[in-house]
């Protein structure tokens, strides 16, 4: 008999994780199953208890439970603790251990467009929410030395900077209204905000005035697959990278933690693209 895996969140109806993981199980001839559990915030404690009783082998965690879930786990690994959020839980003989594969998944997805080793890049992150925090923490842990943050609410960017203070990285902060930021100073510019996401597809997080030749513009949005901002950057000669890779790679890392098997990334990507109609 196969194992049961899942996703907890609220809502979870539109998640692409079940089809991505279940297809990978099928293709590997594993009898496991992945199910999306819709758990309201006030039922989270009971929800985790239920997953323990059902001996669920592992689960992903999505909005709004990524931070709150940590209270109910037996252990949280170092990177997830530093990020302050968990997106993957592994059931190790009844002990629930929390990890965060968002930042590492993002970095993994970026590798196909990177021109030089990650630590040698100067990075600008737009936004300072949960996704930015995961990406910045993983990048700093993987040796990035210069990583600036630009956000509407500067206080949130300060919190991320403080959180990374034990590392060598130099982090400068800018306000989103501060149009002095010169994008041509960076090799990698990452939009982690929802600006430009469907239905507001005409919006851009920052004007694309200048592009360093060969620099990477990366947008975590995957609906649309190519945001207006990425279109503008590509027209000016940038390499562009969308959010599909991060979604696939964070799931692939979880899959590997649960099963010990590296799933086929290309197949997973195709499933997700099909779901997105791309
Ligand atoms: P996620 O988990 O996807 O990162 P989040 O934690 O809600 O989501 O963070 C969203 C980020 O996008 C925040 O940094 C937010 O800016 P604030 O810190 O000022 O709230 C930013 N963001 C979202 N919509 C925005 C908008 N219309 N203009 C500017 N910034 C926006």
Average pLDDT, rounded, for the chain: 97
**156 labelled catalytic:** no
Q: Is the pLDDT of residue 181 over 90?
A: no
Query: In this structure, which residue's CA is closest to atom 18 in ligand 1?
Result: 153
253, 276, 228, 208: which is closest to 107 by C-alpha?
253
Per-residue pLDDT of 189-212, as tens digits, reads: 999 999 999 999 999 999 998 899
pLDDT of residue 278: 60
Task: Collapse the DSSP code of 99 into the 3-class scheme (helix H, G, I; strand E, B; otherwise coil) and give the result.
Answer: strand
Tell me the three state secondary structure of residue 75: strand
- Ligand 1: does its nearest atom lie under 6 Å from the Cβ of 131? yes
Q: How far apart are the first and last CA of the chain?
A: 35
How far is it, in rounded angstroms, from Cα 46 to Cα 72? 10
Residue nearest to atom 26 of ligand 1 (CA): 195
Nearest CA owner, ligand 1 atom 12? 193
pLDDT at 179 over 80: no
How many whole angstroms from 46 Cα to the centroid of ligand 1? 30
- Looking at the chain, the whole-number percentage of residues with pLDDT higher than 90 is 95
CB atoms inside a 10 Å sphere around CB 214? 11
| Best of 194, 200, 201, 246 for a ligand 1 pocket test (most atoms within 8 Å of beta carbon) | 194
What is the position in ligand 1's atom list of the atom closest to the CA of 157? 18
Residue nearest atom 13 of ligand 1, based on CA coordinates: 129
CA dist 259 → 33, 97, 148, 202 (Å): 12, 15, 36, 41
d(CA 137, CA 103): 7
Contacts of 55 (CB under 8 A, 6+ apart): 4, 91, 94
* CA gap 141, 198 in Å, rounded: 32
**Residue 210: predicted pLDDT:** 86
Q: How far is the CA of 191 from the centre of ligand 1 (A)?
A: 10
- Cα–Cα distances in angstroms (integers) from residue 146 to residues 118, 169, 173, 274, 275, in the given order: 11, 6, 11, 36, 36
CB distance 84 to 113 below 8 Å:
no
> pLDDT by residue (tens digit) across 135-174?
999 999 999 999 999 999 999 999 999 999 999 999 999 9
Q: Residue with the nearest Cα to atom 9 of ligand 1?
A: 129
Q: What is the distance between the alpha carbons of residues 128 and 152, in angstroms, rounded to a whole number?
A: 8
Overall average pLDDT of the 177-182 stretch: 82
Tell me if 134 CB under 6 Å of ligand 1.
no
Distance CA 224, CA 268 (A): 19
| 58 vs 116: CA distance, rounded Å | 35
Ligand 1 neighbour 64 (Cβ under 6 A): no
Atom of ligand 1 nearest to the CA of 127: 14
């Amino acid at each position: 008999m196969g194992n049961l895996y899942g996703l907890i969140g609220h809502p979870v109806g539109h998640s692409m994780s079940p089809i991505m993981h279940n297809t990978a199980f099928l293709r590997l001839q594993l009898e496991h199953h992945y199910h999306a559990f819709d758990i309201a915030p006030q039922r989270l404690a009971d929800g985790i208890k239920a997953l323990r009783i059902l001996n669920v082998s592992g689960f992903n965690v999505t909005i709004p439970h990524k931070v709150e879930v940590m209270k109910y786990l037996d252990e949280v690994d170092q990177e997830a603790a530093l990020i302050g959020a968990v997106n993957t839980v592994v059931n190790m003989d009844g002990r629930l251990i929390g990890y965060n594969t968002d930042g590492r998944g993002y970095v993994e997805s970026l590798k196909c467009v990177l021109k030089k080793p990650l630590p040698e890049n100067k990075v600008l992150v737009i936004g300072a929410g949960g996704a930015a925090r995961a990406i910045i923490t993983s990048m700093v842990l993987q040796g990035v030395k210069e990583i600036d943050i630009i956000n509407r609410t500067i206080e949130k960017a300060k919190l991320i900077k403080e959180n990374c203070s034990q590392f060598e990285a130099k982090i400068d902060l800018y306000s989103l209204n501060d149009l002095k930021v010169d994008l041509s100073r960076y090799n990698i510019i990452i939009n982690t905000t929802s600006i430009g996401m469907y239905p507001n597809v005409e919006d851009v997080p920052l004007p694309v005035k200048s592009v360093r030749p060969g620099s990477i513009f990366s947008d975590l949005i995957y609906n649309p697959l190519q945001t207006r901002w990425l279109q503008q950057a590509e027209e000016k000669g940038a390499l562009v990278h969308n959010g599909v890779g991060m979604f696939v790679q964070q799931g692939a890392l979880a899959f590997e933690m649960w099963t010990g098997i590296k799933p086929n990334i290309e197949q997973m990507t195709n499933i997700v693209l099909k779901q997105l109609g791309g």
